[in-house]
Amino acid sequence: MSAPLTAAQRRTLLAHPAGWIATALGAGLSPKAPGTAGSLVALLPWWFWLRELPLGWYGVVLVAGFALGVWACGVSDRRLGLHDQGALVWDEVIGMWITLIAAPRSSWSWMACYMFAGFALFRLFDIWKPWPVRVADRRVQGGLGVMLDDVVAAVYALVVLQLAALVLRHGPA
């Protein structure tokens, strides 16, 4: 976990459009649990827009968002002189969107449960960093390094979430 940014670092970060993107419009500047704040912010566009997109367009948004994040987090890393500072939470946004890509279109209550479970699983894998999440976090630098570990954590969360949904849908044999 990195130390909170100083006032001068926040000014440096937000003086460039990349800083606004990398912090998910400032969510990453939360004094407590910025990664959790970024993950929560990601749920708003998912709920109101992404979950209704056809899978192909959802994928286009993910690829474009990932590329935007590599750029924005890379610029922000260089401006701060730090790697993967906690305020950079665009990776959590993309991670949440990956985790929820296969959410079933269903009743409001089922969707809310699915969203909550996806949030909890993504945060678990992002914080725990099992192999190869930890490898990506430690060895890959720059904007790609900021983004990549959360993508891998999101894939873990997506797989566990889909397996749980399958079991709940079909029950034990």
CB distance 19 to 29 below 8 Å: no
CB distance 166 to 108 below 8 Å: no
Token code pair at residue 153: 């954590």
**pTM listed for this prediction:** 0.94
The pLDDT of residue 106 is: 81
pLDDT at 1 over 70: no
Exposed / middle / buried, residue 133 (Cβ in 10 Å: 0-12, 13-18, 19+): buried
Q: What angle do CA 134, 59, 86 make, to 5 degrees?
A: 35
Question: What is the SS3 assignment for 76?
Answer: helix
One-letter amino acid at 119 equals F
DSSP 23: T
pLDDT by residue (tens digit) across 43-62?
999 999 999 999 999 999 99
Exposed / middle / buried, residue 130 (Cβ in 10 Å: 0-12, 13-18, 19+): exposed
The pLDDT of residue 173 is: 52
Of the given ranges (25-29, 53-57, 133-137, 161-165), which has the lowest mean pLDDT?
Answer: 133-137
Distance, in Å, from the CA atom of 92 to the CA atom of 38, rounded to the nearest integer, reads 6
